């Protein structure tokens, strides 16, 4: 099973948002993060990086104004 940890990239650092994420769904100005237990969290932003082989992580970044 391949679960990921999701981070938000802010000010040149990555802040952890959620662990054991099984699903990421884009919607409007952000994404829904759904973990192994079915807990959901909506985060405004866009995908910066997805690494499903080495680190099992997803990095998001805030949407740019404008």
Beta strand 4-10 with 46-51 is unpaired
pLDDT by residue for the chain (66 residues), tens only, comes to 679 999 999 999 999 999 999 999 999 999 999 999 999 999 999 999 999 999 999 999 998 765
pLDDT of residue 64: 77
DSSP 11: T
pLDDT of residue 1: 64
* Domain ranges (residues) in the chain: 4-61
* Backbone phi, psi, residue 43, to 5°: -130, 125
DSSP labels, 9-40: EETTEEEEEEEEEEEEEEETTEEEEEETT--E
Prediction pTM value: 0.89
pLDDT of residue 65: 63
């Amino acid at each position: 099973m391949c679960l990921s940890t999701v981070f938000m990239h802010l000010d040149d650092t990555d802040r952890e948002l959620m662990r054991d994420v099984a699903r990421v769904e884009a919607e409007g100005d952000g994404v829904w993060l759904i973990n192994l237990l079915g807990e959901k969290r909506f985060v405004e932003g866009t995908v910066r990086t997805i690494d499903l082989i080495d680190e099992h992580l997803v990095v998001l970044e805030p949407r740019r104004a404008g």
